[in-house]
Structures are given as structure tokens and as C-alpha cells.
Amino acid sequence: MEEPVIAQKSPYGIKMESGKYAWCACGKSAKQPFCDGAHKGSEFKPMIVEITEQKEVWWCGCKNTKDKPFCDGSHKNL
């Protein structure tokens, strides 16, 4: 099983508008924390998330969270 690339060892805190977003699961996207298609040819696929209201979201940057796609502090153990 392939391991994701650690994009950064901290979360991406972003004020989000309501809508659907594709979170990068592979860590290779140049548009972190969102997918840009860099996973093609691998076993990874982006995770589609619907945000229903404007709010700040803490997206996982290390790609090792157990609460995908949101940060659970796993980066502290890397």
C-alpha cells in the first residue's frame, strides 16, 4: 500500500464558504490542501467534502489523520 506524501506537518486553517471541495489525500497536489489531479496513476483518490455553512476548517496537511480530511493532531507524532 502506498503511503501519502506529507505536504506539511501542520493543518491548513482556511475560512471556507459553503460548497463541495476535493481534499488531496496523496499529498502531491500543488494546490494543498485541495486536489489538482496529481494522484493520477496512484491508488489515491481525493475525498469530496461538502461544507454546509461558512466556517473555519482545519484541513489535515500531513495526510495521516484518522479523521480524514480534518486535522486530529497526528502530525505531532511524525
- Tens-place pLDDT, residues 13-45: 999 999 999 999 999 999 999 999 999 999 999
Q: pTM to 2 decimals?
A: 0.94
According to DSSP, residue 49 is labeled: E
1, with CB counted inside 10 A (0-12, 13-18, 19+), is exposed
Name the 3-class secondary structure at 53.
coil
Q: Give the pLDDT mean for 34-62.
A: 97
DSSP 70: B
Of 59, 73, 76, the residue nearest 25 (C-alpha): 59
Q: What is the DSSP string of 31-45?
A: TTTB--STTTTSS--
